[in-house]
Structure 1
Amino acid sequence: MQSTISSKGQTTIPKEIRDHLRLKPGDKVKFFIHPDGHVVILPMLPVTALKGMLHARRRASLEEMAEAPVAGAAERYRRSLRS
């Protein structure tokens, strides 16, 4: 596949690639340049696509939320003793 760069530096993403990445008008993409020189284009997911990804099985109580930093600090301290 190929595409031509305009005088403004714009190009059209070939339909086959747009379909493969499920890109729609208005979607954003991100470009990555790898050390070996090849370029990767990936769709940027809207924040709404991440909704529910980290959904907890149940809501934490205020007491549990207050205890969490203490428990984390205690665990880090225990790990430091093992080193």
Structure 2
Amino acid sequence: MTESTITAKGQTTVPSDIRARLLAEPGTRLVWSVMPDGTIIVRAKTKSILDLAGMLKAPKGKRAAIDDMNPWRR
């Protein structure tokens, strides 16, 4: 198990083996989540939602009208 210490300023160093597993580089943002049972989850925020732009292509020949996409609003 890897450990780190929190300083008086509230800072800590992420151990090198953890940084390697997260592919974390200087400037990588960490997202901290506290679960209801007290478990803490730390995720490396390495991607932006903008990185997903253009990943999906619309199927050719299939178009839907706006009214067909929102049937509950008729």
Structure 1 segments, 4+ long, off by >4 Å, are 57-60
More relative contact order, 1 or 2 (CA 8 Å, 6+ apart): 2
Runs of 5+ unmatched residues, structure 2: none
Decide which structure has greater helix share: 1
Question: Is the radius of gyration larger for structure 1 or structure 2?
Answer: 1
SS across alignment from 2:17: helix
Q: Share of identical aligned residues, percent?
A: 29
Give the total of aligned pairs. 70
Summarize deviations over 1:23-56 as a string: whole Å, max 9, x none.
0001101001011111011011234532433x21
Distance (Å, rounded) in 1 between the aligned partners of 2:24 and 2:54: 22
TM (norm. structure 2) is 0.74
TM-score (norm 1): 0.67
Could you list the runs of 5+ residues in structure 1 that have no partner in the other structure? 78-83
